[in-house]
Structure 1
Amino acid sequence: MLADYYKKVNVWMRENRGDLYVVAIIFFVGLASFGIGRLSILWPDKEPIEITNTQLPITNDDGDDTIRNQHVNQQGDSANVTPTIQRKYVASKNGTAYHFPWCPGALNIKEENKVWFETKEEAELAGYKIAANCEGL
């Protein structure tokens, strides 16, 4: 009985040899693709770090209000460094609160309406109060 099944399978395989090759190729290509996909998770490509906002100042938080800031040119050439006076706080001409330059409220102020201050005291003397939505103030 087992010999009969063996003969039938051999006859069927000889008759369908071309189809079996196609099925085997599809199976092994799929298996190889799956394996390569799994390997790609183990070694993901690292995305380069991009600095998107080059306008924010670089600060040194040592408590000195007369800190000088250095902006590097767009190409990243550190040889062309120009010192600039750091602006720590910003307010709107039409508003009543002052912010750090990176706070959400400060980002909504138009450039022509911005008023800059070096210290908190300077902003408060001008009649502005601390912004409630800006962390760290």
Structure 2
Amino acid sequence: MFEKFKLFVIDDAIFMTILLVMVGLASFLLGQLSVTSIKTTAIPKVSLSANSVNFSGQKTPIISTPMGVEKNTRSSQVTNVITNTQSDQSFQYVASKSGTKYHLVTCPGAKQIKKENKIYFNSAEEAEAAGYTSASNCPGL
């Protein structure tokens, strides 16, 4: 009986194929087992805003700007600027908080500015007084 098995092992390609498939299957199953035994924990997402508020037992919160974030000096210079609290239909000019150009509200460049970054002006003089220059690609300026 042992001689028949020995001849089957040495001469038969089917046995080698079966052995190779079994080794591959065992390797695959061991790999799957090792992956499923590792518990995956969700990493909490942390969002850092431009300003941080500290409520350290005080009546009024302390608002600080983190290191590496510059304060927008234009917003402190502008007095008659209304941001996105009102409709942009009542204003003629708009600019981005981080940009250097102002646009007509109907210009394509104005439509690309995010709503939370928009600053509105009643006149071109107000926009220029705030440090903005007119956009060259906006017809009508």
Q: TM-score, normalised by structure 2?
A: 0.37
Q: TM-score, normalised by structure 1?
A: 0.38
